[in-house]
Amino acid sequence: MLGTRPEAIKMAPLAVALRNSGILQPVIVATGQHGAPVDQALAAFDLVPDVRLDLARTTGSQPELVAQVATQLDPVLEDSAAVVVQGDTTTALVGGLVAMWRRVPVVHVEAGLRSGDLSAPFPEEANRRMLSVFADLHLAPTRRAVDALLREGLPADRVLLTGNTVVDAVIATALRAQGSTPSDPGVAEVLREVEAGRGRLVLVTAHRRESWGEPLDRVMSAVRQVVDDHPDVLAVVPTHPNPAVRDQVEAALAGHPRIRTTGPLAYPELCHVLSRSTLALTDSGGIQEEAPSFGVPTVVLREVTERVEAVESGWAVLVGTDPEEISVAAKGFLDGDFARPSGPNPFGDGRAAERGAQAIAWLVGRADRPEPFAP
């Protein structure tokens, strides 16, 4: 089950691994929480939804979304051997609840992330905590996530360290995207300059709701300052599809000759840009996990992060949205004041989907339990 673009990206490698195993047949259910972005993300893996829910949203509220997804999803799950949900979205929570009500085993991918603060991220922290109460199999991306689940009293044999499927996704997608040309002419021009050695690329993403409004203005102010302070730096800033957020970003960055704002990038294009970047400024959990695979450090535009491994290993610096803190951290990486991180990606080795597929088959009695990821 998936409803958002990040879910599609992280679930696609698992769907492919299940299909390739020949043991279980994956059925991809798209809830409609996001529309075209989900199809776009799945297309990068040659996948399409098998089932689409038909939502008729008018208010856009969470209660409306929960009610419609739960009602339409219930009959879809009637003959399921297991239901797989990912992360901490409303789709994941409702999918897990409906499956639990039907007494269908629930598999939670990317289980065990914790910020310790119900307000950040909101409502995701609550969603993932609730899922852990009734999931039957917890596929944890990191040792820290495993430890969090065990501290909460979950049975050790139902918790498996797999690594994060996003590492599988980003590596495979970046390889496929090599030599391609981004659809946005401005982004394509930036990449040509960078690949010719005529500049360094900084990727900027700020999409979380807690970043909207005044925090986003502070972030964009810092982006302008970072680019102004480094004449060889070019920035690509994909904007949120929400018109108000997009307008806010474009107004803040308008007219800067070395900053390119664009709409949401297709996942292969985003992977291509990330793989060519020197630095990422981001509030995205996914980019914190993906960037180390390309040797790209991140300045995290959040007050707290559940991806503590990125900070502990030196791949990320947590700064919030204060312009001065952002500028100092970016300068540290760009000017060599900070030691550039090295070593493998702490979030995975590209085999998380393979382990997850075997674990699901084990849950339903079709395979042996796989060996865990060894970071």
Query: CA-CA distance, 105 to 251, in Å (whole number)?
Result: 48
Q: Is-cis flag, bond preceding 26, omega within 30?
A: no
Dihedrals phi, psi of 71, to nearest 5 degrees: -65, -45
108 as an active site residue: the answer is: no
272 as an active site residue: the answer is: no
Query: CA-CA distance, 110 to 113, in Å (whole number)?
Result: 7
Contact at 8 Å (CB) between 360 and 18? yes
Amino acid at 34: H
Contact at 8 Å (CB) between 298 and 315? yes
Residue 291 carries which DSSP code?
A: G
CA angle 122, 127, 131 (to 5 degrees): 165
CA angle 254, 211, 306 (to 5 degrees): 130
Residue 271, both tokens? 């992977």
217 as an active site residue: the answer is: no
Residue among 209, 247, 369, 371 flagged as catalytic: 209
The SS3 call for residue 190 is helix
Residue among 5, 114, 124, 354 flagged as catalytic: 124
Cα–Cα nearest to 323, from 239, 201, 200, 228: 228
Instruction: Tell me the β-bridge partners of 30.
Output: 2, 52
Cα–Cα nearest to 166, from 323, 271, 46: 271
Q: Where are the beta strands (DSSP E) in the chain?
A: 29-30, 51-52, 83-86, 106-109, 137-140, 159-161, 200-205, 233-238, 259-262, 279-282, 298-300, 316-318
Residue 182, both tokens? 């981004």
210 as an active site residue: the answer is: no
110 as an active site residue: the answer is: yes
Residue among 88, 168, 309, 354 flagged as catalytic: 88
Residue among 5, 240, 276, 302 flagged as catalytic: 240
193 as an active site residue: the answer is: no
Residue among 7, 110, 136, 306 flagged as catalytic: 110
b/e string for 72-88 if b means 16 or more Cβ within 10 A? bbeebbeeeebbbbbbb
Residue among 5, 114, 138, 207 flagged as catalytic: 207
In angstroms and rounded to an integer, the radius of gyration of the C-alpha atoms of the chain is 20
Enumerate the active-site residues. Answer: 88, 110, 124, 207, 209, 240
